[in-house]
Amino acid sequence: MASCKYLGILIDSDLKWIEHIKYIHNKLIKFVSIFYKIRAKLPSDILRLVYFAFVHSHLLGLYGIEIYGNATANHLSKLLVLNNRLLRILQHEPFKPHTTDLYNAYFTLPVQLLHSYQIMVFMHRYVHIRNELPAIFSTYFEENQFIHHRDTRHKCDFHSHFVYTEFGKRSIKYNGYKLWNNLPDDIKAVRSCCSFKVKLKKLLLQLLE
C-alpha cells in the first residue's frame, strides 16, 4: 500500500491509516521486554511516569490521534491489545483483571477513547477560546440558534448535517458536533481547559465500567 509521511503522520492511499498504526505498533512493541526488566527495579510512581513518557506519548502524542484514531476498530485493535499488555506489565497485573482497572490506575484511556477525548478538547477550544485556533476554524461549526430562531433547549447545540459517506462520518467536523452535543451541560460549561480535561476523562472512564 502506497503511503507518504507528512508532518509526522503516515498517510496511505486509502486513508485507512494502516501504515501509521503499524509504525506506532513497531515503536511500542520493543517496550514489552524493557518493561519486564525494569518493573521490579522501579517504584510504581516512576513506572507510571515511564508509561506516559514512552507509551502514552506515542499513542496520544498530543498530535495526530484526531486523524488516525478514526480508523476501524479492527485496525486499531493491535494498538489496544499492546497498550493493555504494557499496562499489565507495569502494574504487575495478571491477564484476568478487567482492563478498566488498568486505565483507572493510571488515569488514562484506551486508544479509541483517546481519539474522542482529543476531539472534544478541540471542541472545547472552539467554544471557549476560538480566537486561539487557526482562522480556518472560525466558522467550522454552526449553532442551531443561528440556523433557526426557535427557542428550544437545543438552540445552543451545534447544527447537525446529514453525511452520506463513511469517510464523512469519520471526519472531525461530523464527530465533533456529535460528541460535543452529547456531553452533559455542566461539563460543556467549564471554561478552564485543565478542569474540562479532568472532568471529561472521568466521564469517559465511566464508559469502560
Co-location of 95 and 15 in the same domain = yes
Q: What is the model's pLDDT at position 170?
A: 72
Between CA 20 and CA 73 the distance in angstroms is: 15
Co-location of 16 and 73 in the same domain = yes
| pLDDT per residue as tens digits for the range 41-63 | 999 999 999 999 999 887 755 56
Confidence of residue 163 (pLDDT cuts 50, 70, 90): low
Chain-centroid distance of CA 170 in Å reads 13
Residue 83 domain boundaries: 3-108
Give how far Cα 26 sits from Cα of 23, 55, 174, 194, Å.
Answer: 5, 12, 31, 32
Co-location of 23 and 89 in the same domain = yes
Of residues 176 and 112, the one with the higher pLDDT is 112
Co-location of 29 and 120 in the same domain = no
Q: Is the pLDDT of residue 147 over 60?
A: no
H/E segment holding residue 110 = none
Closest of 126, 108, 113, 107 to residue 180, by C-alpha: 126
Q: What is the DSSP string of 113-140?
A: HHHHHHHHHHHHHHHH-GGGS-GGGTTS
H/E segment holding residue 3 = strand 3-6
Chain-centroid distance of CA 136 in Å reads 22
The C-alpha angle with vertex 122 and arms to 121 and 127, in degrees rounded to 5, equals 95
pTM: 0.85
Q: What is the model's pLDDT at position 73?
A: 86
Co-location of 39 and 120 in the same domain = no
| pLDDT per residue as tens digits for the range 5-40 | 877 788 887 778 888 888 899 989 999 999 999 999
Domain boundary among 108, 143, 164: 108
| Total domains present in the chain | 2
Between CA 198 and CA 207 the distance in angstroms is: 15
H/E segment holding residue 4 = strand 3-6
Between CA 88 and CA 90 the distance in angstroms is: 6
Closest of 17, 5, 12, 10 to residue 72, by C-alpha: 17
Q: Is the pLDDT of residue 97 over 70?
A: no
Return the SS3 of 143.
strand
Cell of 72: 476501524
Co-location of 129 and 149 in the same domain = yes
H/E segment holding residue 11 = strand 9-12
